[in-house]
Structure 1
Amino acid sequence: MNGEYLRVTPAELARAVTDPDWAFEYAMEIMEIMETDGSSAVAPSDARQLTTHKAFAAIAFLLQRASFPVDIVHGEQALTSEDWGYGPARYLDADRVKLAAGALADLSFEDLSRDVDPEQMTAAQIYPLLWDEPGALEWVRGWFDPLAPFFGAAAQAGEAMLVWLD
């Protein structure tokens, strides 16, 4: 399971809401392009698509502990009832992306992970259940840190965000 994000313009979001099948095909096309042409190596602020890999559940856990104002891991509005891998896609409109970007810019991973006990994460059964391994939280940092520049660029461009698990 991987957490996935796709930046979309307001026009693309409007089309996605009325035609979720188009949105799925578009998202898969962007992901394929990024995998085949090396654009997965671009800076998060320049990327159209981003993954949090298997760290999505840990990020959700940490953000919930911090009372983060936007559900950036699961999205907030239903896009479709169709399964995009592990459930339906959701989205954040441009206003929620902007709010999330501001909150991410003000949140360091040190603050987010302060006083987190790996045993607490294991007891809560936070996927992928590797919290007793050394460096597990640092692994999460590697997937969390790109979110701020990715959301920041989307907010600056007035974009929305499609969110799903695959």
Structure 2
Amino acid sequence: MGMIASYHRISTEQLEHLIAQPEAVEIFLYETEEVSERELDIDKAWHGIYFLLTGEGELGAADSLAGDAILGGKPLGEDLGMGPCRYLSAAGVKEIADTLKSISASSLSAQFDASAFNEAEIYPMYSEWTEADKDYLLDNYEELVRYFAEAARHEEGLLLLIQ
């Protein structure tokens, strides 16, 4: 299975409710039908995208808005896998969306170096990264950019979860 990253678009009102009642996060994520319609799953590409955006292999080592698209936000609720769910406010989503809009997939493609990924031990570790893995990362990155832009357009916050 492995660790996958998922995102959930959420209204400001829903986010305020969850901040006030963090014990409701798990119910919201797993028992609300509306959530699946507003979800993005970037599978196991999260660490590779983080590395392309920040140049950092160590999780959380980068201090950048681009890196916050993967590991940003404030913790909310109990540990659901690889720590608790994290949230971004609508203002934070817009700021990150604007940053991601300025980083093209082609510029990330030019930075891709499979040997650097392997040296930095970028997840998933079950095999060596190869040139063929670049499309997987870039496809997921482009989905992430579109998703953040859509959330920003609707003035929504996001829940981020790695599990």
Q: TM-score, normalised by structure 1?
A: 0.82
The residue matched to 1:125 in structure 2 has which SS?
A: coil
* Residue segments in structure 2 that go unaligned for 5+ positions in a row: 57-62
Q: Distance in 2 between matches of 1:118 and 1:106?
A: 24
State the match for 1:27 in structure 2: 29
State the match for 2:52 in structure 1: 62
1:15-45 CA deviation, whole Å, 9 max, x = no partner?
A: 11111221221111357974xxxxxxxxxxx
The alignment covers a number of residue pairs equal to 153
Conserved in 1, the CA contact under 8 Å of 2:114 and 2:131?
no
State the match for 2:122 in structure 1: 126
Letter of the 2:14 partner, please give it: E
Q: Which moved more, 1:62-71 or 1:111-120?
A: 62-71
Q: Distance in 1 between matches of 2:9 and 2:102?
A: 21
Could you tell me the percent identity over the aligned residues? 29
Q: Distance in 2 between matches of 1:63 and 1:115?
A: 9
* Residue segments in structure 1 that go unaligned for 5+ positions in a row: 35-46
Q: 1:159 aligns with which of 150, 156, 161?
A: 156
The residue matched to 1:51 in structure 2 has which SS?
A: strand
Name the Cα RMSD after superposition.
2.2
Distance 1:33 1:156, change over 3 A: closer
Distance 1:105 1:115, change over 3 A: closer
Q: 1:84 aligns with which of 36, 59, 80?
A: 80
Q: TM-score, normalised by structure 2?
A: 0.84
Q: CA deviation at 1:158?
A: 0.8
Conserved in 1, the CA contact under 8 Å of 2:113 and 2:131?
no
Q: CA deviation at 1:68?
A: 4.6
The aligned runs of 1:41-60 (5 Å cut-off) are 47-60=37-50
